[in-house]
Amino acid sequence: MPETIFCHDCLDYKKINNSIKDDETFEIKGETISLPLEKYVCPDCEIEIIEEEEYDRGLLKAFNEYRKKNNMLFPHEIREIREKYNLSQRAFSRVLNWGETTINRYENGVLQDPAHDEVLAFIKNPKNMQYLLEKNKTKIPSKDYNKVKKVLKELQEMDSLAVAYLDKLRSIDSRYTGNKMFDIEKITHVITFLSDNVKELYKTKLLKLLWFIEFYNFKKTSVSICGIPFVHLDLGPVPEGYETLLTVLEDERKISKKTKCIAEENIGETIKGLISFDKSLFSNSEIETLEYVLVQIGHYSSTGLVELTHKEKAYLETNYQELIPYEYAETMGTI
């Protein structure tokens, strides 16, 4: 709390003894939005005073409330669309044929024009971006045009890879998926949950934790959480096609991968979720599973988790590259 604050009625700085929380009303495009802000009371004229920074923060919150009510894109979503096409803010504005500072303002919280919001939502789909790119081709510098064309080609190839991967996994017998269809959205949020709660989530550790989570939940409920099929490899059970899964999620900017030096001549890869964990996607029982596994073995190292899986019948009684039936969940002895 500041010691003094300027009172515009008294035209002087006044000593402040306390602050209050009181609603402030914002008029946003004809809609009234009230939010609690920190205010100070002038000891002489008793008028309520709001610091400029506090008011600006409140205005940005009001913009977000308006976005929520009117199903508009949030600033981080606009940034994600731009980054999807690997463009700077100015280059993205040029491709859209907008003013060069427009995207910068939107990403920093200024409420976007409704017509602009529709365009941004439209080009989330690469096919629509392709249409807009060709439509504005004569207005776009060749450097920006060629850059987006290259990205669109890569996204198309990745989309084909993702479709083929999902088709393959969704065709696997339910005996190996825990009586559930493979759900890549829930997998993404489980990875986010783990990376939010594990200081350095190395890839090997992630793959082991996914196995424990899926099989433990099946043991409790006879259904897995994400429908992940696991295969027997040297370092224990891993999701079938896990490298493709992580590549797809990275290219969709759902996760990031970072190479780290663990020790001399020993390189590891950490995984970080880039989305906000959505608890509403999971049942209470599934949330309990995530939290239970994290508490029980989340502190183990990658090596420690590999050793745990090597003691499980699911690993001991299956062969290299063989899919592991979920019925082995009943024999789990680690958790």
Cα 104 to the center of its chain, rounded Å:
21
List the one residue out of 335, 241, 237, 247 whose CA is nearest residue 293. Answer: 335
Among 32-41, 117-126, 255-264, 309-318, top mean pLDDT goes to 309-318
The domains found in the chain, sorted by start residue, are 4-69 (3.10.20), 75-159 (no CATH), 174-331 (no CATH)
Whether this prediction's pTM lies above 0.85 is answered by: no
CB neighbour burial string for 10-20, b if at least 16 within 10 angstroms, e if fewer: eeeebebeebe
Q: Which residues are bridge partners to 12 per DSSP?
A: 7
pLDDT score of 264 more than 50 = no
Calpha distance 165→182 (Å, rounded): 11
Give the model's pLDDT for residue 153: 87
Q: How many CB atoms lie within 10 A of CB 171?
A: 8
Cα 126 to the center of its chain, rounded Å:
19
pLDDT score of 165 more than 90 = no
- Is residue 12 very low, low, confident or very high in pLDDT (cuts 50, 70, 90)? confident
pLDDT score of 22 more than 90 = no
> What number is the average pLDDT over the span 244-271?
80
Q: What is the pLDDT of residues 198-231, one digit of tens each?
A: 999 999 999 999 999 999 999 999 999 999 999 9
Retrieve residue 48's tokens: 């309520």
Identify residue 327 by its one-letter amino acid code: E
Contacts of 240 (CB under 8 A, 6+ apart): 169, 172, 228, 229, 230, 231, 323
Please give the full DSSP string across 183-200, using - where no structure is assigned.
Answer: -HHHHHHHHHHHHHHSSS
Q: What is the pLDDT of residues 51-68, one digit of tens each?
A: 888 888 889 999 999 998
Give the model's pLDDT for residue 54: 85
Calpha distance 215→326 (Å, rounded): 7
pLDDT score of 174 more than 90 = yes
| CB of 112 closer than 8 Å to CB of 78 | yes
User: 149-158 long-range CB contacts below 8 Å, 24 or more apart?
Assistant: 151/84, 151/85, 151/86, 152/85, 152/126, 154/251, 155/84, 155/126, 155/251, 156/126, 158/247, 158/248, 158/251, 158/252
Q: What is the pLDDT of residues 71-103, one digit of tens each?
A: 899 998 999 899 888 899 988 998 998 988 999
- Is residue 266 very low, low, confident or very high in pLDDT (cuts 50, 70, 90)? low
- Is residue 1 very low, low, confident or very high in pLDDT (cuts 50, 70, 90)? low
Identify residue 184 by its one-letter amino acid code: I
